[in-house]
Amino acid sequence: MQSGLRIRSLGENTAVTGFGNDYEVTNPNNAPSNTGSNGLKRQSLEWWFDEDGLFNLDEEGRAEKQQCAVATSNIIRNFSFMPDNDLIMAQHRHCSETIFQCIEDHETEDEELITNALETLVNLAPLLDLRIFSSSKPSFIRMTEKRAVQAIMGMLGSSIKAWHCAAAEMLGRLIINPDNEPYLLPFAPQIYKRLIDLLSLPAVDAQAAAIGALYNLSEVNMDCRLKLASERWAVDRLLKIVRTPHPVPEVCRKAAMILESLVSEPQNRPALLAHESTFAEILLSDGKYSEIFARILYELTSRPNSKVAITRGVWGM
């Protein structure tokens, strides 16, 4: 199935902020003197291996390195919000490898570092081609497409809200690029199950991220729509998003359009017919989405393969 061109508005009206005052700035007046050609090498070595130096392996040195890593991740994150930077960063293999390795090591890395890495990847995702990890560009970490997707799946399964929301949003943006499909679709059953689980959470931002990802996934191909419809609780939870309703109208609209996409496949109609009365109730009570649910009921009841086409033709258009 060919989908129309999707216009990206990522980063619009987003304020770019630094990492605040959490980190002290080194006073240049206190920096070790490094002038003179004769003593240059000796002074450099003394600075690198000083007991207070950044590259010492004692506890204080490790803490300083971690602090610098977090600060650097904040800078890279902020770069990703700026126009034109995202394309350059998405095409930089070492940058992508490093960020993916950070989230891959989420069990041992600093939580703020992981959060910054995830937010960076969410910004780069619409322009990120996973084939970069098997390209001829120089590699420093040997990241692969499969490892990258597995790292995202680890974040999607996390209990930390900021992480699983970012992972869901990232998947929804990565799938826009058809070249990423061969690497993402083998994980489709796990992705659908977890996204449907997120719809049951009370957090509205988790629901919104899951709906956004499911909306794009349902547009990929017939197999995606069949697998999504067969996922337990999928239809019930999509309907709950519309009926509750979610505080963001666009999320409700997308949930309704996912249902319309599912009903377009004849194999899904028997399962969706079980919810016919709910569809009719929304049609008659909610004017904002009545047109979508009218089309859903038409698809369900007015097709030649429908056993109840004659008696339920009232929903025809």
CA-to-CA dists, residue 27 to 18, 20, 24, 32, angstroms: 19, 17, 9, 11
pLDDT tens per residue across all 317 residues of the chain: 554 554 544 444 444 333 333 334 344 444 444 445 455 545 554 544 454 444 455 677 778 888 999 999 999 999 999 988 999 999 999 999 999 999 999 988 899 999 999 999 999 999 999 999 999 998 888 899 999 999 999 999 999 999 999 999 999 999 999 999 999 999 999 999 999 999 999 999 999 999 999 999 999 999 999 999 999 999 999 999 999 999 999 999 999 999 999 999 999 999 999 999 999 999 998 788 999 999 999 999 876 554 444 334 344 44
pTM score, whole prediction: 0.76
What's the pLDDT score for residue 32?
A: 46
**195 near 168, Cβ under 8 Å?**
yes
Show Cβ contacts of residue 75 under 8 Å, excluding neighbours closer than 6 positions: 18, 19
What's the pLDDT score for residue 2?
A: 52
Tokens of 199: 């719809």
CA 33 remoteness from chain centre: 47
User: What is the residue whose two structure tokens read 């010492």?
Assistant: 56
What's the pLDDT score for residue 171?
A: 97
Q: Name residue 268's amino acid.
A: N
What single DSSP character describes residue 213? H
What's the pLDDT score for residue 296?
A: 95
What's the pLDDT score for residue 22?
A: 39
Distance, in Å, from the CA atom of 79 to the CA atom of 219, rounded to the nearest integer, reads: 31
What's the pLDDT score for residue 5?
A: 53
How buried is residue 237: exposed, middle or buried, by Cβ count under 10 Å (0-12/13-18/19+)? buried
What single DSSP character describes residue 210? H
In the chain, alpha helices (H): 40-48, 59-81, 85-90, 93-104, 111-124, 145-156, 161-174, 181-184, 188-199, 204-217, 222-230, 234-243, 249-263, 269-273, 276-285, 290-301
Distance, in Å, from the CA atom of 115 to the CA atom of 136, rounded to the nearest integer, reads: 29
Distance, in Å, from the CA atom of 278 to the CA atom of 296, rounded to the nearest integer, reads: 11
**182 near 144, Cβ under 8 Å?**
no
